[in-house]
Structure 1
Amino acid sequence: MIRSLHIKNLATIEEIELPLQDGFTILTGETGAGKSIIIDGIRLILGEKSSPDMIRTGKKETSVEVIFPFHQAIADFKDYFPEKEEEMFLQRKVPAKGTGKAYINGIHVPNIKLKELGVKLVDIYGQNDHVFLLNLEYQLNYLDDFAGASALKKNVSRLARELKKILKEKTELEEKEKEREQRLDFLEFQIKEIEGAQLKPGEEEELRNTRNILKNAEKIGSHLESALSISYSQENSISSLLAQLQNTVHYLVDFDKTFKETEDAINQFSITIQEFSDFLFKFQQKQDTAPERLEELEERLSQIEKLKRKYGSSIEEILSHLESSKQEYEELSTSQEKLDELDKEIQKIFNEYKSHAEKLSHLRKKNADKLEKDVEKEISLLGMKKARFKIKIDTIPLKPESIESVKESGTEEVEFLISPNPGEDLRPLRKVASGGELSRVMLALKTIGEETDTFKTMIFDEIDSGIGGKTAEFVAQKLRQLSRTHQVICITHLPQIASFATHHYKIDKKIDKERTFTSVIKLSFEERVTEIARLLSGTRITEITLKNAREMISHNLDKSAC
């Protein structure tokens, strides 16, 4: 329920603070006073579309704030509520320029979050909100909720999705089958070409390094010869000088053992020079085959480049393409086996779907009779004494050949039919019901179906349009009945409805210094009497209308206490 509503700079409202209570709250006032502006403010806090045109002239932004008690039904939004939080504070700001902002308990959130939370907290039914009743999907969902079929329907929906997914997979595989042979030949050629090249990861870089060496063989050879000469072959090479140094130091060791460490170091250095010389010699030997080897390298690199142009920018990518080609080749080679497996899986899921859908169908038909009787009883209490209400159920037969047309909603198409007056044929609700009749059917359905979600606030914005007299009193009684389990807020022009309120607010409009101001006043009993009298007779209030108003309020208070 809404505990308080604070609106600032919305149309003719400069600022109002409206504390609200449980029970049946009525808002009345002259036409144009701003009653629906308050509902517009609540719609904003529920995430509905905003416009800068809503902002009060001369102001920079509109803001709406609402406080709700915390309820476990909104546990999905627990991230926005500290532990042991007892209230929810929702806020919406709409600026004249720029993007609006939404908040849940002070946390900035996308507007869609307000909308998701709002549908759990408040239902609004205005003159143009009856259209949901005419939606065939809503009618089917209503019947399912009434029948307690939610769990069964979820299973039917899940199996339908699984079936469609596998059917799509089968279709794609069958399309591949049409060009399977051609694709297999193509893949086989690619696999043989890549495998025949016997590529190795890192091979290209190694080949390019070797080619670079061979291309510069003459320069390298000259430097190799010089290095060999210095290190080994010339008369005063490092090797020969080290040999002389070794002999000299070895002689000194015989006289002083402290030279032993130096001798070891010279010996190690001599070994290193010898290994270096061997390396240079072997490298020089390889240079002898440079012309033939270079030609082989160029051919190999050319082969790799050709494969890169076709299959990838590196050897690694070519090898990856090889693996994917092998995998696809394997899948195509066994595609018929896969198709057979899919057919078995499709049949299995279809049988499950059929079983659950038949149970759902039985539950719908069983409960449709009861719902028809309940609705006829409720609309009769609302003044439609001789009206008939029926639920048309068309069941689509489930056959193997129609497997691709299974629906997540099951096998039924449901439509509400009504005959408002005696002697008239039953026709779809969307084709025959007037605004007043729709209001009463909607109220009947809400009364029947609102045994759950009792924490929700229900707002009725002039749903009494098109009714009056005794019917209006029936509607008022029904709204009062709903208010025993829900917070009900209703805007009305009818005294029959207003007189049933447990809380009555009057919306007033005044002009001060060429500015229009809308205000909200909670009425005392005597103020209610005057307001009900105004609704009964307009501006000409007499002692008789005041007496009638007093009697209406007292009578309806007594009736509600029964």
Structure 2
Amino acid sequence: MLQELSIKNFAIIDELSLSLDEGLSVLTGETGAGKSIIIDAIHLLVGGRGSAEFVRYGEKKAEIEGLFTLENDKHPCYVKLNDFGIEIEEGMVVLRRDISSSGKSVCRINGKLVTIAIMREIGSTLIDIHGQHEHQELMNENLHLTLLDQFGGQNVVKAIKSYQEIFNEYESVSKKLKRINENEQEMAHRLDLIQFQYNEIENAQLKIGEDEELLEEKRKLTNFERLFDSLQTAYSSIQGERKGLDWTGLAMSHLETAADLDDKYQATLESVSNAFYLLEDAVHHVRNDLDQLEFEPDRLDMIESRLNEINGLKRKYGATIEDILAYYSKIEEEIETITNRDSHIYDLKTRLQSLEEDLYVEAQGLTEIRQKTGKKLTQSIHEQLKELYMDKTTFEVRFIEKANQEKTGNRYKKDGADTVEFFISTNPGEPLKPLSKVASGGELSRIMLALKTIFSKHQGITSIIFDEVDTGVSGRVAQSIAEKIYQVAVHSQVMCISHLPQVAAMADCHLFISKTSQKGRTSTSVERLKEKEKIKEISRMISGVEITDLTKEHAKELLQLASSIKNT
């Protein structure tokens, strides 16, 4: 949900901060007070087109910032943010957009700079805006199949998963067959190249860890003189007449005498004795090492040559010996494939044919489930439209015929073989037309509301905004629209700009938008209304200018009715 919204120097808004709740928030106020400006700011926050005209006159830039909270890590926003390398902490996403007076925009998500395109893609998972002339998802026919699948739930999910397992293998085999069927001359050139590479790596006889062992040996050989001198000096210091070991042995002999005379020197004797034997053992080891040390200049040259060879292979085929050997295995398989090209083509074609048959069966099964889902969706939407007093309206989930799909050469896609589009007719006798082609107006607003009532349960969109979708309706239709908007708010956070008292009465949070003038400048402000203030504002919406006792009673009745509907 959108938890906090901050707007600064935007149009007639000087500075505005909003804390929003779950459920239904309704924005009301006089025409021109700035209700739609707040929605415009949110639209820009999620990647809408901006311009310098939005910056408040006399200011350098407009600033918009929103804090969104996500219920769980299964929200679609998580996947998108991970794709773009943006971290989420404690389920919070902060979107920020600054628009300068020159028209330049700077977008950030959780503090990371992003493009407007990325901001738009992330924003589409957080907010869905519906206005009189703008219906993002439901008017996009490319998303109708996704909406149908979401409505279908687990039955469709299982069928898609089963289909995609075969589809992924089918795609993989198709790509292999395409590669092996490429121009023969190119394949011959490719074979020459990788055969040379194969031979070069094979002749090198690489061993994992070899380079590290050679570097260690090189280090020792390079420092041979220093090592020899150090060991020789150490040996000379300990071994020999009147040297370290000799003096320690003398000390041990005298301490033995002292310990015989007084027991308190026994511990000291043991310490010195241990030191003597340890030194004696160390001298032995140093002597052996000195005897074995031998400087081999030819060996150093050989190591240098071998390391140069390995580094040359690393520059060509991989950063490590493991990478080089992995590439070696890969081209070995490719050489075998090209060499036995005809045999592989036959095997791949046979496998592809078998997969296509399996894919056809899975696609058919998926289509059948979707068609059943389409009938249930049609029935549900007709019920919603009936409640909105549009019982003459006909809705249909239309599947494009497979023959047409085959002509396009795109029969099988990642999500199946189906192309789906929503069709609708608002008047008896009129032909069904694509939903995206239906003229806007009061009827379209109700259609969109009916669809949204159903799809909001399945889409996982954090926040939904209705911008005056109730325009052009009144009476019982207005009450029905108010109830539908509240139904959507049960499953998603909803913000709604409305001029209908019925909608305002259903609000969980009623925000009153007003504008004032100070020192020759106009500013917009927002006030969260309490119960008495709600009655006054709904009375104003009912009567217009003059508020009477009768309109106040009517407002109270609307609030009581709304409370009763919410409880049921």
TM class by smaller structure = 0.5 to 0.7
Determine if the alignment matches structure 1 residue 92 to structure 2 residue 97. Answer: yes
Distance 1:105 1:367, change over 3 A: closer
The partner residue of 2:123 within 109, 118, 137 is: 118
Compute the TM-score of the two structures, normalised by the length of structure 2.
Answer: 0.65
Q: CA deviation at 1:396?
A: 0.9
The partner residue of 2:515 within 495, 509, 517 is: 509
Partner of residue 498, structure 2: 492
The partner residue of 2:159 within 138, 152, 155 is: 152
Partner of residue 9, structure 2: 9
2:129 aligned partner, one-letter code: I
Q: CA deviation at 1:18?
A: 1.4
Q: Is the 8 A contact 2:51 2:103 kept in 1?
A: no
The CA distance in 2 between the partners of 1:36 and 1:546, in whole Å, is 27
Q: Is the 8 A contact 1:27 1:506 kept in 2?
A: yes
Determine if the alignment matches structure 1 residue 472 to structure 2 residue 491. Answer: no
Distance 1:356 1:516, change over 3 A: same
Partner of residue 19, structure 1: 19
Deviates more, 1:152-161 or 1:41-50: 152-161
The CA distance in 2 between the partners of 1:398 and 1:469, in whole Å, is 46
Partner of residue 270, structure 1: none
1:560 aligned partner, one-letter code: K
Partner of residue 52, structure 1: 52
Q: CA deviation at 1:499?
A: 2.1
- Alpha-carbon displacement from aligned partner over 1:216-254 (angstroms, at most 9, x marks no partner): xxxxxxxxxxxxxxxxxxxxxxxxxxxxxxxxxxxxxxx
The CA distance in 1 between the partners of 2:401 and 2:476, in whole Å, is 40
Distance 1:405 1:4, change over 3 A: closer
Partner of residue 350, structure 1: 356
The CA distance in 2 between the partners of 1:103 and 1:411, in whole Å, is 38
Q: Is the 8 A contact 1:388 1:426 kept in 2?
A: yes
Compute the TM-score of the two structures, normalised by the length of structure 1.
Answer: 0.66
Partner of residue 63, structure 1: 63
- Alpha-carbon displacement from aligned partner over 1:258-305 (angstroms, at most 9, x marks no partner): xxxxxxxxxxxxxxxxxxxxxxxxxxxxxxxxxxxxxxxxxxxxxxxx
Distance 1:465 1:327, change over 3 A: same
Distance 1:425 1:336, change over 3 A: same
Distance 1:163 1:463, change over 3 A: same
The secondary structure found in structure 2 opposite 1:72 is coil
Q: CA deviation at 1:172?
A: 5.7
The secondary structure found in structure 1 opposite 2:515 is strand
Q: Which structure 2 residue ranges, 5 or more long, are not aligned?
A: 196-202, 205-330
Determine if the alignment matches structure 1 residue 438 to structure 2 residue 444. Answer: yes
Q: CA deviation at 1:15?
A: 0.5
1:407 aligned partner, one-letter code: K
Q: CA deviation at 1:406?
A: 2.9
Q: CA deviation at 1:517?
A: 0.9
1:43 aligned partner, one-letter code: H
Seq. identity, %:
35
The CA distance in 1 between the partners of 2:460 and 2:333, in whole Å, is 58
Deviates more, 1:6-15 or 1:529-538: 529-538
Q: Tell me the matched-pair count.
A: 427
1:71 aligned partner, one-letter code: E
Q: CA deviation at 1:165?
A: 5.9
1:44 aligned partner, one-letter code: L
Q: Is the 8 A contact 1:397 1:411 kept in 2?
A: no
The CA distance in 1 between the partners of 2:410 and 2:141, in whole Å, is 22
Q: CA deviation at 1:35?
A: 0.8
Q: Is the 8 A contact 1:139 1:415 kept in 2?
A: yes
- Alpha-carbon displacement from aligned partner over 1:101-137 (angstroms, at most 9, x marks no partner): 4444445555555444433332222223326434332
The CA distance in 2 between the partners of 1:60 and 1:399, in whole Å, is 53
2:21 aligned partner, one-letter code: Q
Deviates more, 1:355-364 or 1:97-106: 97-106
Q: CA deviation at 1:537?
A: 3.1
Q: CA deviation at 1:491?
A: 0.5
Distance 1:128 1:156, change over 3 A: farther
The CA distance in 1 between the partners of 2:523 and 2:563, in whole Å, is 33
The CA distance in 2 between the partners of 1:400 and 1:459, in whole Å, is 40
The partner residue of 2:132 within 123, 127, 130 is: 127
Q: Is the 8 A contact 1:54 1:62 kept in 2?
A: yes
The secondary structure found in structure 2 opposite 1:450 is helix
Determine if the alignment matches structure 1 residue 176 to structure 2 residue 183. Answer: yes
1:150 aligned partner, one-letter code: V
CA RMSD of aligned residues (A): 3.8
- Alpha-carbon displacement from aligned partner over 1:330-381 (angstroms, at most 9, x marks no partner): 8666432232122123213312321221111111112121111111111111
Distance 1:122 1:326, change over 3 A: closer
Q: Which structure 1 residue ranges, 5 or more long, are not aligned?
A: 192-199, 202-324
Partner of residue 266, structure 1: none
- Alpha-carbon displacement from aligned partner over 1:158-203 (angstroms, at most 9, x marks no partner): 75565456546545654525x69xx979999xx9xxxxxxxx99xx
Distance 1:186 1:441, change over 3 A: closer
The CA distance in 1 between the partners of 2:190 and 2:24, in whole Å, is 77
- Alpha-carbon displacement from aligned partner over 1:83-114 (angstroms, at most 9, x marks no partner): xx375444332233585444444455555554
Deviates more, 1:51-60 or 1:521-530: 521-530
The partner residue of 2:561 within 539, 555, 559 is: 555
Distance 1:335 1:547, change over 3 A: same
The partner residue of 2:421 within 415, 424, 433 is: 415
Q: Is the 8 A contact 1:417 1:427 kept in 2?
A: yes
Q: CA deviation at 1:478?
A: 1.0
Q: CA deviation at 1:514?
A: 2.5
Q: Map 1:217-296; keep pairs closer than 5 Å.
A: none
Q: Is the 8 A contact 1:130 1:439 kept in 2?
A: no
1:93 aligned partner, one-letter code: D
The secondary structure found in structure 1 opposite 2:183 is helix
- Alpha-carbon displacement from aligned partner over 1:299-329 (angstroms, at most 9, x marks no partner): xxxxxxxxxxxxxxxxxxxxxxxxxx99999
